[in-house]
């Protein structure tokens, strides 16, 4: 029997920190769940995306603002790694 390694992310307007961590883990190889959750929680506390204003297990993160932040993070990481975009979302090494 096959089992999913990462928890499935539901289609909802608001996500839990664990669901956001799962999305981060899809893009960053070697990132474990605890580190991904800490990264997302720290960004939420710093106001990098919209939340419901609560903390701990009651915190919910707006999916759209999280996705925009996540895309910015990915683009920043690609730039730092020496990749450039062609303006249409395709990356190539510089």
Range of the domain at 55: 14-93
Tell me the pLDDT tens digit for each residue of 53-63: 999 999 999 99
Is residue 48 a part of any domain in this protein?
yes
The pLDDT value given to residue 91: 63
Is residue 7 a part of any domain in this protein?
no
Tell me the pLDDT tens digit for each residue of 44-94: 999 999 999 999 999 999 999 999 999 998 888 888 888 776 666 666 666
Is residue 1 a part of any domain in this protein?
no
Are 20 and 61 spatial neighbours (Cβ–Cβ below 8 Å)?
yes
Spell out a b/e string for 31-50, using b for 16 or more CB atoms within 10 Å of the CB, else e: eeeeebbebbbebbeeebbb
Is residue 57 a part of any domain in this protein?
yes
The domain tally of the chain equals 1
Residue 10 tokens, joined: 């539901």
The pLDDT value given to residue 79: 82
In degrees and rounded to multiples of 5, residue 83 shows phi and psi of -105, 155
**21-29: average pLDDT:** 86
Across-strand partners of 84? 92
Is residue 9 a part of any domain in this protein?
no
For residue 9, the 8-state DSSP code is P
Are 12 and 63 spatial neighbours (Cβ–Cβ below 8 Å)?
yes
Is residue 5 a part of any domain in this protein?
no
Across-strand partners of 15? 61
Report yes or no on whether pTM surpasses 0.85. no
């Amino acid at each position: 029997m096959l089992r999913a390694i990462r928890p499935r992310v539901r289609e909802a307007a608001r996500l839990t920190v664990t669901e956001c961590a799962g999305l981060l883990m899809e893009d960053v190889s070697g990132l474990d769940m605890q580190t991904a959750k800490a990264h997302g929680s720290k960004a939420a506390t710093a106001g990098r995306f919209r939340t419901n204003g609560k903390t701990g297990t009651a915190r919910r993160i707006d999916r759209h603002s999280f996705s925009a932040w996540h895309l910015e993070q990915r683009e920043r990481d690609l730039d730092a790694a020496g990749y450039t975009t062609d303006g249409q979302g395709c990356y190539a090494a510089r």
